Amino acid sequence: MDNALKFYIDGRWVEPHGNTRLPVIDPATEQPFCEIAMGNLADVEDAVAAARRAFPAFARTTPGERKQLLQRILDGFMARYDEIAEAIVREVGAPTSLSHDWQAGIGKFHLEQLLRTLDTFEFQKTRGTTLINQEAVGVVALITPWNWPINQIVCKVAPALAAGCTMVLKPSEIAPINALLFAEVLHDAGVPPGVFNLINGDGPSVGAALAAHPQVDMVSFTGSTRAGVEIARLAAPTVKRVHQELGGKSANILLDDVDLEAAVTAGVNSCFGNSGQSCNAPTRMLVPAALHDRAVEIARRAALAHRPGAPAAAHTTMGPVISERQFDAIQRMIAIGIDEGAQLVCGGTGRPAHLPTGYYVQPTIFAHVSPEMTVAREEIFGPVLVIQPYENDAHAVQLANDSVFGLAAYVQSSDLQRARDIALQMRAGSVYVNYPAWDPAAPFGGYKQSGNGREYAEWGLEAFLETKGIVGWGH
């Protein structure tokens, strides 16, 4: 990666002010494969100043001009598609098929959806004699995670550009290479100098400085609830807009009329996708008490059908988790589940026997899980599913909503109207009925400690817009 030791500021690849370096670790081998430069406060000042200088001119570009820019970005993204997908295989450990079909693919889908959104979005409209003007919020700081890296980069950068904002991106320092490649795409597409800037760095230094910076008008953050609380605290003195997509502990209610084999198997596979490292994964499977034992046996078979292994291996269905720190945290949670008396159905602590190297976690299922258990309440962020029995539909909804999180929820039923009734009662930003296809036009974001605001399509665009009323416009 030619630009790994540089930052992209004011339309150029520049040397950082400091000399701190961070190795990027391949989670499948536990070995570094490159280094990146790490930023400091001086780099933050340069990037924010560049974005501030570029804002007045870029904010005055037309929606049509910005749409043409986004089309060029999409074209450039597709030209570098395989390169971006392979970077994610290496730095995240995603299996090759997952990385090519979804990790990189979702960036394409977001760009395509935003272009469709811009076809009909009204930046201006009149109401009587008042003009309602939707205009760029200003300079925005974008802080993105490692688990679906290009997804969260594109679903922030693209609507910020469409809104007329200028920005500083701080991608995850654990999976930074895809972001550097995307910066090259933006440069080649002709994004004006200063409109997009990228600095690598960690949260306590670069992330915190961006959140607190008085010249930053908005922070859009995806990550842990703990970090989200700190970002909100740092942003509060300047009363900047804070948009957050945080943790989850999503319930998956299987009603008593489902095809149990199909519903349980799909639920296990959805939970274990991306090695369980998805904030909206259905990690709590709620099943009727009378069907619990049958569901557990189906889930066990589904889990054992997964094949952890090297991301590039053809048979692999589950790669490693991202880092030693994440591996250790998951191991601690599995041990807590065992200690608190949950029934270990399969998996457990330690690596799979055939994988002594790499941050591989055994696909793990707990059954007879009660609501007070730690594994039922805390986000594990690994391939760990808990199965909870319930007595009736009302009890299922109560268990599903008994969480500090509210990012996503799932409901399965052969009776669509019954599923809809349950979905309307679930306190979550997204509810998925009968394992639907992913919809890039649906709003994404959470209730409660899962965050605030929404991303994707027009909701993602609106997040980066201020609303101005000009009264008397029509006189």
Active site residues: 245, 279
Quick check: 143 and 220 in contact, CB under 8 A?
A: yes
Identify the pLDDT of residue 219. Answer: 98
Residue 440, classed as helix, strand or coil, is: coil
pTM over 0.95: yes
Residue 101 maps to which CATH number?
Answer: 3.40.605.10
One domain, residues 235 and 262: no
Please check the confidence at residue 1 and state whether its pLDDT lies above 80.
no
One domain, residues 201 and 316: no
Residue 475 lies in a domain: no
Average predicted confidence (pLDDT) for the chain: 98
The predicted-structure confidence for 23-65, as pLDDT tens digits, reads as follows 999 999 999 999 999 999 999 999 999 999 999 999 999 999 9
One domain, residues 327 and 309: yes
Residue 359 lies in a domain: yes
Quick check: 323 and 27 in contact, CB under 8 A?
A: yes
One domain, residues 383 and 305: yes
One domain, residues 217 and 91: yes
One domain, residues 162 and 299: no
Residue 381 lies in a domain: yes
Identify the pLDDT of residue 469. Answer: 98
Q: How far apart are the first and last CA of the chain?
A: 58
Confidence of residue 2 (pLDDT cuts 50, 70, 90): confident
One domain, residues 225 and 143: yes
Confidence of residue 181 (pLDDT cuts 50, 70, 90): very high
Residue 1 lies in a domain: no
| Nearest one of 35, 8, 34, 33 to 19, comparing CA atoms | 35
Domains contained in the chain, number:
2
One domain, residues 367 and 432: yes
Identify the pLDDT of residue 142. Answer: 98
Provide the residue range defining the domain that includes 40.
Answer: 7-246+450-470
Residue 2 lies in a domain: no
Quick check: 142 and 196 in contact, CB under 8 A?
A: no
Helices in 60-176 by DSSP H: which ranges? 63-79, 81-92, 96-98, 105-120, 149-163
The predicted-structure confidence for 54-108, as pLDDT tens digits, reads as follows 999 999 999 999 999 999 999 999 999 999 999 999 999 999 999 999 999 999 9
Q: How many residues are given for the chain? A: 475
Q: How far apart are alpha carbons 287 and 256 in whole angstroms?
A: 8
One domain, residues 321 and 192: no
Please check the confidence at residue 475 and state whether its pLDDT lies above 90.
no
Residue 211 lies in a domain: yes
One domain, residues 98 and 14: yes
One domain, residues 213 and 359: no
The number of helices, as runs of H, and strands, as runs of E, in the chain is 16, 22
Helices in 121-169 by DSSP H: which ranges? 149-163
Quick check: 241 and 220 in contact, CB under 8 A?
A: no
One domain, residues 181 and 279: no
Question: Which tokens is 157 given?
Answer: 């950068």
Quick check: 411 and 253 in contact, CB under 8 A?
A: yes
Identify the pLDDT of residue 274. Answer: 98
| Nearest one of 380, 419, 426, 382 to 401, comparing CA atoms | 426
Q: How far apart are alpha carbons 440 and 232 in whole angstroms?
A: 27
Quick check: 351 and 275 in contact, CB under 8 A?
A: no
Q: What percent of the chain has pLDDT over 70?
A: 100
Residue 283 maps to which CATH number?
Answer: 3.40.309.10
Identify the pLDDT of residue 427. Answer: 98
Identify the pLDDT of residue 271. Answer: 98
Q: What percent of the chain has pLDDT over 90?
A: 99
Residue 321 lies in a domain: yes
The predicted-structure confidence for 213-264, as pLDDT tens digits, reads as follows 999 999 999 999 999 999 999 999 999 999 999 999 999 999 999 999 999 9
Residue 445 lies in a domain: no
